[in-house]
């Protein structure tokens, strides 16, 4: 336990708190970015650590709605986590995490927390598991022709400026995110952050370009926004609600004049390679994406649906959030999901970390068991639970390392 006092910041302390965060990461706030952050951060959802009158650590939460298999769950998006280098190795991060989880649980707040990890070795000890991955797709567009039988429809693509494109993007995104585990809702202020395009964020590329796809009936079905960097197209975000729109947008990107490469952070089961005559023309590099922590295991597991009927008794271990520890029976069939304490013999032993990893339906309990992280106590129990937790498509958060900022 740390002896440093912890509390939420007051509104007048925001700038000092925010500059302490960026100092920890060796960065400075740009004036516009600092103002934007101040409008979106809720002071009462922050945590700050003090040494006398000096701010020495902090973190914050954005409340969002996360798509899970056949459902939605309120999620605490954890961000701006930092401890000054002068106060490392003193238990501050552990104390701040414990305070945050305890407040969420005792207040009946979000049952799930999620974040993108700056370092992969930090958050597992707090019960976070890797629940989704992303694939960095890189291709030489000279060899990325679509298969001749791919149907891209009879629609059209228009280039729009950000102001004209934004309401169309919002509509498509809100439709697409309802069916894709790992996507979250976006409010007006988060769209503003997502489309923020000052020169210093462009990484040497152009301003954002916005292409919107409309089907033959005039309905907007998809969009992509991207920037050019030399001969490379950097796709920032692509969303489509039909197969034809998805194919049309990729054909547009592949055929852009003056470019011979494209890069995009997509899902690990991204459809694009299957549309190409030469699937090897796209290379994939897979990295971790969303880390998920089940703060209240029971509420979290009953918020999602399962791939088939399942009845398994879990022995759950959770040293960090002790209220989750115990023996529970999961019984799910369609929309009926029940999670109750039981005295029956345990069939699967695991920790809250593994439940968080499996929560979105991507990481399987079977692969975690193969790694020695899940113990099977009844033959066949892990396989049955693993199949039930699995989703039809791999989960994915479409904003790279920026969750939950947008």
Binding-site residue numbers for acetyl-CoA are: 81-83, 89-94
Alpha-carbon distance of 303 to 354, in angstroms, equals 17
| 206 Cβ neighbours under 8 A, 6+ residues apart | 227, 228, 229
Is 123 catalytic? The answer is yes
Q: What are the strands of the beta sheet with 310-317, ordered from one edge? A: 336-341, 326-333, 310-317, 348-351, 375-376
- CA–chain centroid gap for 62, Å, is 13
Is 328 catalytic? The answer is no
Cα dihedral 139, 141, 143, 145 sign: positive
**For the chain, how many residues are written?**
406
Alpha-carbon distance of 215 to 234, in angstroms, equals 25
213-216 contact pairs (CB < 8 A, 24+): 213/155, 213/156, 213/157, 213/240, 213/245, 213/248, 213/249, 213/252, 214/155, 214/156, 214/157, 214/158, 215/153, 215/154, 215/155, 215/242, 215/244, 215/245, 216/153, 216/154, 216/155
Q: What are the strands of the beta sheet with 112-115, ordered from one edge? A: 6-7, 46-51, 54-68, 71-83, 112-115, 291-294, 129-130
Strand 71-83 and strand 112-115: the pairing is parallel
Q: Which of 62, 101, 123, 128 is catalytic?
A: 123
Question: Which residues are documented as binding site?
Answer: 81-83, 89-94
Known catalytic residues are 123, 406
């Amino acid at each position: 336990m740390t002896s440093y006092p912890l509390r939420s910041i007051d509104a007048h302390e925001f700038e000092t708190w925010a500059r302490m965060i960026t100092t920890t990461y060796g960065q400075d706030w740009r004036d516009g970015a600092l103002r934007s952050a101040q409008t979106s951060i809720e002071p009462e959802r922050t945590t700050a650590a003090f040494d006398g009158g000096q701010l020495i650590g902090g973190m914050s939460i954005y409340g969002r709605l996360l798509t899970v298999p056949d459902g939605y769950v309120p999620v605490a998006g954890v961000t701006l986590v930092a401890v000054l280098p002068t106060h490392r190795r003193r238990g501050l991060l552990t104390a701040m995490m414990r305070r945050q989880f305890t407040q969420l649980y005792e207040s009946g707040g979000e049952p799930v927390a999620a974040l993108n990890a700056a370092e992969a070795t930090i958050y597992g000890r707090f019960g976070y598991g890797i629940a989704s991955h992303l694939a960095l797709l890189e291709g030489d567009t000279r060899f990325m022709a679509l298969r001749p039988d791919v149907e891209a429809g009879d629609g059209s693509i228009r280039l729009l400026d950000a102001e004209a494109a934004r309401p169309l993007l919002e509509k498509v995104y809100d439709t697409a995110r309802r069916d894709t585990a790992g996507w979250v809702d976006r409010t007006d202020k988060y769209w503003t952050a997502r489309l923020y395009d000052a020169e210093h964020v462009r990484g040497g590329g152009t301003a954002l370009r916005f292409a919107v796809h409309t089907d033959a009936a005039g309905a907007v079905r998809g969009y992509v926004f991207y920037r050019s960097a030399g001969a490379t197209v950097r796709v920032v975000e692509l969303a489509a609600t039909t197969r034809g729109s998805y194919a049309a947008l990729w054909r547009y990107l592949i055929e852009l004049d003056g470019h011979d490469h494209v890069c995009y952070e997509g899902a690990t089961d991204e459809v694009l390679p299957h549309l190409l005559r030469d699937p090897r023309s796209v290379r994939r590099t897979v990295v971790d994406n969303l880390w998920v922590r089940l703060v209240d295991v029971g509420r979290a597991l009953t918020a999602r649906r399962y791939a088939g009927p399942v009845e398994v008794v879990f022995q759950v271990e959770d040293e960090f959030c002790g209220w989750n520890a115990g023996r529970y029976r999961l019984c799910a069939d369609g929309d009926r999901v029940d999670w109750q304490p039981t005295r029956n013999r345990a069939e699967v032993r695991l920790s809250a970390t593994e439940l968080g990893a499996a929560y979105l339906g991507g990481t399987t309990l079977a692969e975690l068991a193969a790694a020695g992280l899940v113990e099977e106590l009844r033959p066949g129990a892990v396989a049955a639970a693993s199949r039930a937790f699995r989703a039809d498509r791999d989960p994915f958060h479409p904003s790279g390392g920026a969750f939950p900022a947008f």
